Amino acid sequence: MSGNPCEGCPVSCCLKMGLFLPKSEFSQHFQRHEEVLVIRQIGKIFVVSPKEGQVCPYLHNGGCRIYHERPIDCRVYPYIMSHIIEKRNKVKIVFHTRSDCPKKSELYHLMPESEARALIIAFGKKIYGESKTIIAHRESGILSQFCNRFEARLSRSLNKMTLRWKKILSKK
Ligand code: SF4
Ligand code: SF4
């Protein structure tokens, strides 16, 4: 746990963690903790969050027990991945900064935006392989937030519709 700048933070993101995970990170760290987690799978992405009254199973004494092996979604803090928008040949991963982080300046120093972008692209590649172009898009401002939410909803609906049609057509 040494070297963890989040240690002792009163906000502790790990209490309410809602993590996006590729299958490899899910299997390595979280699959065996399903008794304390709500686990959803959205396409190729696993989303884990604690059940009511629970916290991340790796949170211990205000620090992370797997700090040096923690998932990419934890590494990019104080940046947060908020939407993953799948398109035909590309995937746009939207990220923004955590505004209430009391150690933001220290964390920005440890995690420059260029490094966070590289990690987010690596995250996308772990999920989608080399077949899609991964774009890390930093959200800034309310208009950009609104547009990204709208785009994410639209893309989810289109993907669901495509899946439904594929199922219908495969039965014919
Ligand atoms: S990222 Fe910021 S808000 Fe979250 S636990 Fe670390 S110091 Fe606290
Ligand atoms: S894996 Fe570690 S850094 Fe990530 S949410 Fe859990 S305790 Fe926090």
76 lines ligand 1 (CB under 6 A): no
Supply the pTM of this predicted model.
0.83
- At 145 the pLDDT is 80
Q: What would the mean pLDDT of 148-169 be, rounded to a whole number?
A: 71
Decide which of 162 and 5 is more confident. Answer: 5
- 90: enclosing H helix or E strand: strand 90-97
pLDDT at residue 148 is higher than 70:
yes
pLDDT at residue 113 is higher than 80:
yes
Q: Which two tokens stand for residue 120?
A: 């987010």
> How far is residue 43's CA from residue 35's CA, in Å, rounded to a whole number?
22
Give percent of the chain with pLDDT exceeding 70.
90
> How far is residue 54's CA from residue 156's CA, in Å, rounded to a whole number?
29
Q: Is 98 found in the same domain as 63?
A: no
User: Which among 70, 97, 113 is the end of a domain?
Assistant: 70
Convert the pLDDT of each residue in 2-58 to its tens digit: 467 777 777 778 877 789 999 999 999 999 999 999 999 988 999 999 999 999 999
User: Which among 11, 38, 70 is the end of a domain?
Assistant: 70
Number of domain units in the chain: 2
> How far is residue 170's CA from residue 166's CA, in Å, rounded to a whole number?
6
Q: Is 154 found in the same domain as 97?
A: yes
pLDDT at residue 125 is higher than 50:
yes
Give percent of the chain with pLDDT exceeding 90.
48
User: Which among 52, 70, 88 is the end of a domain?
Assistant: 70
Query: Distance, CA 165 to ligand 1 centroid (Å)?
Result: 43
| pLDDT confidence tier of residue 144, bands split at 50, 70 and 90 | confident
8 is in which domain, residue-wise?
Answer: 1-70
CB neighbour class for 78 (10 Å; exposed up to 12, middle 13-18, buried from 19): buried
Peptide bond into 78 cis (omega under 30): yes
| pLDDT confidence tier of residue 1, bands split at 50, 70 and 90 | very low
93 lines ligand 1 (CB under 6 A): no
- Residue with CA nearest ligand 1 atom 3: 101
Q: Is 98 found in the same domain as 51?
A: no
63 lines ligand 1 (CB under 6 A): no
Q: Is 65 found in the same domain as 109?
A: no
> How far is residue 15's CA from residue 36's CA, in Å, rounded to a whole number?
12
101 lines ligand 1 (CB under 6 A): yes
Burial string for 115-138 (b: 16+ CB within 10 Å, else e) reads: ebbebbbebbebbbeeebebbbbe
Q: Is 16 found in the same domain as 55?
A: yes
Convert the pLDDT of each residue in 87-106 to its tens digit: 889 999 999 887 788 888 88
Query: Distance, CA 27 to ligand 1 centroid (Å)?
Result: 25
Strand, coil or helix: 19: strand
Q: Is 54 found in the same domain as 102?
A: no
